[in-house]
């Protein structure tokens, strides 16, 4: 069974959706550990309540690279195949990127490359786009720049504010993150330039 490490900083609803999909048999994987850089993250409490292993590595005042090196050490015993950032509100430092090259995913609440960074739904409203959405992408050294695995579009309504738009996008996040994880864990894709292209399952004997 492939092993996931979840990194989160707050509410943890994407983590909960992943855990639910696993327990309902919709996603074949196990959560080896949930790591938070924020001791007060609700997601950490939820994980402990579900009986999952948790690690808290506070990042306040800690250099990004130093935190990442500590995270690599903390993650080692859990032998994760894939790291899933789920509302992880820090940049991923070099040591983590190197140790898990091509094995870190993030979920972002816009249709990248539009609106990277923070306050994303407000950015979308201020720009006046008619559609926004969410993106699951591989993590590289840039800010929300890695190759895109899955996206889902959501209509922006005239009546929307940042909260109502975020809530509708979140529904799609919860769906596509598990789909993207399943695809990446299956290994049935190749990366051509920036494009993540799905490949067919190899049939035995063919």
Cis peptide before 127 (omega within 30 of 0): no
For ligand GRF, the binding residue among 35, 54, 70, 87 (CB under 6 A) is: 87
What CA–CA distance (Å, rounded) separates 206 from 203?
6
10 in contact with ligand GRF (CB under 6 A): yes
Using CB under 6 A, which of 27, 32, 86, 165 touches ligand GRF? 86
Q: Which is nearer to ligand GRF, 175 or 188 (CB)?
A: 175
Which residue from 2, 11, 53, 90 is in contact with ligand GRF, where contact means CB under 6 A? 11
CB atoms within 10 A of CB 10: 17
Q: How far is the CB of 203 from ligand GRF (least distance, A)?
A: 36
DSSP SS3 for 203? coil
Q: Which residue has the tokens 């938070």?
A: 36
What is the rounded CA–CA span in Å between residue 71 and residue 68?
5
Residues of this chain, 147-176, that bind ligand GRF according to CB under 6 A: 170, 173
Phi, psi of 12 (to 5 degrees): 80, 25
Question: Is 119 a known active-site residue?
Answer: no
Closer CB to ligand GRF, 90 or 188, in the complex: 90
Minimum CB–partner distance for residue 44 and ligand GRF (Å):
11
> Could you tell me which residues are beta bridge partners of residue 106?
85, 137
- Please tell me whether residue 180 binds ligand GRF under the rule CB under 6 A: no
> CB-based contacts of 169: which residues, under 8 Å, 6+ apart?
109, 110, 121, 132, 133, 134, 154
User: Which residues are catalytic, by number?
Assistant: 108
User: What residues make contact with ligand GRF under the rule CB under 6 A?
Assistant: 8, 10-14, 43, 86-87, 107-109, 170, 173
């Amino acid at each position: 069974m492939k092993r996931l490490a979840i990194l989160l900083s707050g509410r943890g609803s994407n983590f909960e959706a992943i855990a639910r999909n696993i327990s309902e048999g919709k996603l074949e994987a196990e959560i080896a550990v949930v790591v938070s850089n924020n001791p007060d993250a609700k997601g950490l409490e939820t994980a402990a309540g579900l009986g999952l292993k948790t690690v808290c590595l506070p990042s306040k005042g800690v250099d990004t690279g130093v935190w990442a090196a500590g995270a690599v050490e903390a993650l080692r015993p859990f032998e994760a195949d894939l790291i899933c950032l789920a509302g992880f509100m820090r940049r991923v430092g070099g040591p983590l990127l190197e140790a898990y090259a091509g094995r870190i995913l993030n979920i972002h609440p816009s249709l990248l490359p539009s609106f990277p960074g923070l306050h994303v739904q407000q950015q979308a409203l201020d720009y006046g786009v008619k559609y926004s959405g969410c993106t699951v992408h591989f993590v590289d050294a840039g800010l929300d720049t890695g190759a895109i695995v899955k996206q889902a579009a959501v209509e922006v309504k005239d009546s929307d504010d940042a909260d109502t738009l975020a809530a509708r996008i979140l529904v799609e996040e919860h769906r596509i993150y598990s789909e993207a994880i399943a695809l990446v864990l299956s290994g049935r894709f190749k990366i051509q330039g920036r494009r993540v292209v799905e490949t067919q399952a190899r049939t035995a004997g063919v």
